[in-house]
Structure 1
Amino acid sequence: MQINFIEHKAFNLTPYILIVLAFIGLIVSVWFVMVPYISLKNEVSSMEEQFEINGEAESEALQLEKLVEQHEQLSDYISNIEEGLIDHIALVDQLIAFLPNSSRIEHLHYIQDESIEVTMSSARFKDIAIYNESLTSQPYVTDVSFQFMERSNEGDFQAAYRIVINSNKWMEVVQYDD
């Protein structure tokens, strides 16, 4: 029989098990906190990137919208000019049509939107009066101002008129002729 004089103490594992369990609990807690934090951080960074992309796209869209608006304005402006040119050409043709046979227009100048200065020349003084009368009898002519009359070196009479046109009535005449 052996006698063991060394005292044998029972080994208590409980504190070590509690430390290991606390460490595992700490790791699990950190994991539960860090995983949502990291995923939120990734979402925030992707949202910031998307925000920058959207901002650039919005600025490009605004620039394109401005370009489209400018294009439409220019198209409207060009069509108005073209319509105005057609109307002015028809008006000039009409003013030339009123000239007596031996007369001609020497100078035609647009003063304002609805004012035209016409200088005509004719061999006969009577033709100047006839032209004045034919202008004043037109419904679209608001006013005819006789500016001056002189005799040129060639013996022709030159007369200048300032003619004020009512654009609304002129448009009616143009539409009626079409």
Structure 2
Amino acid sequence: MFQLFKKYSVVIRFVAVFLGSYFLLSVLYNAYLIFSETRTKFYPDFFTNIVSRQSAAIMEFLGYSIKLQAHQTQNAVQVFIEDTLLVRVVEGCNSISVIILFTSFILSFFAKKRTTFFYILAGSVFIYAMNLIRIALLTIAIYKYPEYTSLMHDIVFPLIIYGTVIILWVFWVRVYANLEKNESQV
């Protein structure tokens, strides 16, 4: 039995670190969401609110007249283009859960502290920025092509955000493998 653990120690470590960090970060994020329910300054929560505002700024930069409005019965920000309600930005749209998934994977392939920290930071900022662009483009696309709303929302735009994460993971694994190879040669 010990030989099996020794043989698969790298896999066991990966799974343990991934699940442990994902669980811990998810619990912290959930605590933040529970705490946010009692605050009304940034509706429905700070990150969802700021993502809505920043996505609206991108659309306004592109020449669209945008109006944001708190949803009356749901924890969401409604986005209007020229008085047409197009999308609701909910907590799941703010990219935090995707960043948690990304971070957990990177921690599972932990390299040097500084390298890992800066990669997580840069990757998180990149995912966040891609998400803002994704929301802006999705809203504009729904405005221009409402008949493709389901296709865009359910397939194309999740593919963009998760594709970004997978590309960042693959890049990290390649970098991590090179770091490990270089360290073992020293």
Superposition TM-score, scaled by structure 1 size: 0.27
Of structures 1 and 2, the larger Rg is shown by 1
Q: Which has the larger helix fraction?
A: 2
Q: Which has the larger strand fraction?
A: 1
